[in-house]
Structure 1
């Protein structure tokens, strides 16, 4: 099919693609503990039905976790095979009062479709479906669609699934549609992502609470001790102060300060932390955040010295760092800096590998050409992502010969994982066209 044929086909298919996306958004498929997992089952069934409609051989599979969907269609003789990844599960919605509309009832406002999963990552699923529908029975490559069901919950069973279905999932090119673009009107290929270590630190100063008047001034409270300990994690400039972590500079894209302030919702007068270029700080250097604290709530708190307090920490690792070594480094730091002899206990939650992608070669050139055409002459940039998608490193390890392309539908205003998540519908149309063009370009590159 020619470029004009594909443009016309995508335009023809977009209304139905959007309708199916809205149907998926209405399914609250949350894989986290404590939620009704029957909705994840419904979500997998809905995805399977969509893939069957694209003439794929479809199976719902699992390996001790939530259901994933695999759809296959063999390659024409001599043509390459492309794996298309996305996930159908979504994040919890959090505080519903912060949403301007029901998170599971898609609503369009100002050219954006709002709803949980509208961008992350049900639009990724539907971009794959749009490309397949555009080609119909004239698909120039073989395809394997792998739609995961627990990515937001940590992909605990993913490695087992990949091992069990390794032969079926093997491909020449793998398109991981779970990232984003640099800006509205500016496509991107993601070439690095940070790793992750999440852990808990508990501080104890006593066996029980005691009167804050009778014992205060001599007996330390655990909340203050925890606060002092957490303060040691950064230096005065805001750089992570844990010894032994990897960090580097050299990001090639500039991130304007005013844009980052706007996208992050930073309040007037609040300064950025850390040193160096902003892109280095958020892509290629470590970052450490306190995600939550367990301590008595202020409402109803008695006048008593608190004997124990606990915090959850999230450490993002620069590409090239090792999660196990990084966890050992943060444990050593926390134990070393325990204030006033307080007892410090660190417990591991989970980790994930960082990844780097060498985006050179004919398949990456095919992707760049597809993006540039879909965005009417705007070439894609190579960008890093400060977040983590640990399974990409697993794909790299298990399928070393495959060209891995990390793409996505999100833009800086998508607010994935937060209230009022949304999808820019104009950009989504370009993403769908880009994927169709990519499949055509990969077929051509494979013949070369």
Structure 2
């Protein structure tokens, strides 16, 4: 593969077609089912699927087939198959993954911007979902087309784009089983739903945290009562829920107090965290929009990286039973409910994490309050096996060709349930997890943006790795021990 020629092709494809398509995609409020219970009736998901389907079908890719697969009662999935070309192997396979569902709106967008209002400022395309993860289908096919444009060989490629990743990918296992014969046994899986520590080089995800979360509710009364009359006699539901959370989290430090939710951090991951801290410096925390005078949870950069990638951490992402300030009367409220998001270490079993969370919060409720925890997610994280030599070399060459700098390796704080599932189903596959969610890109939050040059660069890197996968396949090096490479999210993309 001629790297310069591939990059010229990809840059032109992004400028002429992909960015305009992403602009239209951002306009569609196709929130994931967890955030839009009426997603079928609203039709936004189908609009997003139709947009991507139309663009993909219009591409000049000989032999490509595309199907929108719809299992009953589930979100749709786009399945694309591209046959091997220019001497590549059809009995080997590269699987490329992305998702098209989105997180909800979130408040706090700058004036003139919004989740469904695409805005281009310089190199940034603002709006919900462009980077997480609307670009994946376009980038995957552009990488393949860049190879075909110069007659470079590649193996058979399969593209899967799901529509419920932001809800935990609960539909995906059914689709992977349904399509198993058509997918085959991929020897390389490329996931484009991760991120990057900066926009200067290719970033490689070495681990992903798991997630246990759901709705914690405390009820104390059948209806609200006068706070002056009841306070001091009726326990506050807010105070009780605060007591319960103190069983789980040290409110002074944020450390999770349940020993079973911690794991031993491998020495290799500690060494990688030290390297990340050295390369990024204070960008480890400067990338977040801290208010003036606000400080991070410590000043040891390596420990902050490990906090984000290998330690459990609790976030409260929503509340119910609490009226807005403008309409809050002097009432002792009957209940308080909180949405909990507990990130789990990569090697902790998600089911076990959920059980521990339920045990610590539900046992012996204070004052006999009615306490319930509805678990919505209990996902296991993922820790990458060691890289095989051909993939490690391909990743570094790709980063040097495209960015002029070596690739970096870092764990991710978010969750991508797909990776653990694929790791189990295809134990012989190698993994390239990469993405475009870098500093200030703010996945899931206000002012989310796609860094367009990074999107182009990641696409070019994927093309290089697919090309080298062909060469490794001919040498018989693409089967055996699994491996991983890629970038780091929210993400809180989350993944999820």
The reply to whether TM is greater than 0.5 is: yes
Q: Secondary structure at the match of 2:198?
A: coil
Q: Secondary structure at the match of 2:120?
A: strand
Change (3 A) 1:416 1:118: same
Equivalent in the alignment of 2:70: 62
Is the contact between residue 109 and residue 447 of structure 2 (CA under 8 Å) also seen in structure 1?
A: no
Q: 1:71 aligns with which of 72, 80, 83?
A: 80
Q: Secondary structure at the match of 1:108?
A: strand
Equivalent in the alignment of 1:179: 194
Q: Distance in 1 between matches of 2:397 and 2:31?
A: 33
Q: Secondary structure at the match of 2:469?
A: helix
Larger mean Cα displacement after TM superposition, 416-425 or 219-228 = 219-228
Is the contact between residue 205 and residue 307 of structure 1 (CA under 8 Å) also seen in structure 2?
A: yes
Is the contact between residue 247 and residue 286 of structure 1 (CA under 8 Å) also seen in structure 2?
A: no
Q: Distance in 1 between matches of 2:105 and 2:210?
A: 24
Q: Secondary structure at the match of 1:437?
A: helix
Q: 1:281 aligns with which of 291, 307, 325?
A: 307
> Please, which runs of 5 or more residues in structure 2 have no aligned partner?
476-496
Is the contact between residue 293 and residue 309 of structure 1 (CA under 8 Å) also seen in structure 2?
A: yes
Equivalent in the alignment of 1:318: 345
Shift of 1:38: 1.9
For 1:161-172, what aligned pairs fall within 5 Å after superposition? 161-170=175-184, 171-172=186-187
Shift of 1:159: 0.5
Q: Distance in 2 between matches of 1:91 and 1:18?
A: 20
* Cα shift readout 1:332-365 (whole Å, capped 9, x = no counterpart): 2123474344332222222212011124114522
Shift of 1:428: 1.8
Q: Distance in 2 between matches of 1:292 and 1:125?
A: 31
Is the contact between residue 201 and residue 399 of structure 2 (CA under 8 Å) also seen in structure 1?
A: no
* Cα shift readout 1:141-182 (whole Å, capped 9, x = no counterpart): 211111112222322211000000012223111101100122
Equivalent in the alignment of 1:26: 27
Q: Secondary structure at the match of 1:244?
A: helix
Number of equivalent positions:
448
Equivalent in the alignment of 2:484: none
Equivalent in the alignment of 1:124: 136
Displacement over 4 Å in runs of 4+? 96-99
Change (3 A) 1:180 1:8: same
Larger mean Cα displacement after TM superposition, 86-95 or 53-62 = 86-95
Larger mean Cα displacement after TM superposition, 1-10 or 336-345 = 336-345
Say whether residues 1:263 and 2:261 are aligned partners: no
Say whether residues 1:293 and 2:325 are aligned partners: no
Shift of 1:46: 2.3
How much is the aligned-residue C-alpha RMSD, in angstroms? Answer: 2.4
Q: Distance in 1 between matches of 2:291 and 2:132?
A: 26
Q: Distance in 2 between matches of 1:420 and 1:243?
A: 37
Larger mean Cα displacement after TM superposition, 357-366 or 150-159 = 357-366
Equivalent in the alignment of 1:6: 6
Is the contact between residue 13 and residue 133 of structure 1 (CA under 8 Å) also seen in structure 2?
A: no
Q: Distance in 2 between matches of 1:316 and 1:328?
A: 14
Q: Distance in 2 between matches of 1:227 and 1:309?
A: 10
Shift of 1:292: 2.0
Say whether residues 1:244 and 2:270 are aligned partners: no
Q: Provide the TM-score with structure 1 as the length reference.
A: 0.92
Q: Distance in 2 between matches of 1:212 and 1:12?
A: 65
Shift of 1:225: 1.8
Equivalent in the alignment of 1:103: 115
Say whether residues 1:90 and 2:102 are aligned partners: yes
> Please, which runs of 5 or more residues in structure 1 have no aligned partner?
none
Equivalent in the alignment of 2:211: 196
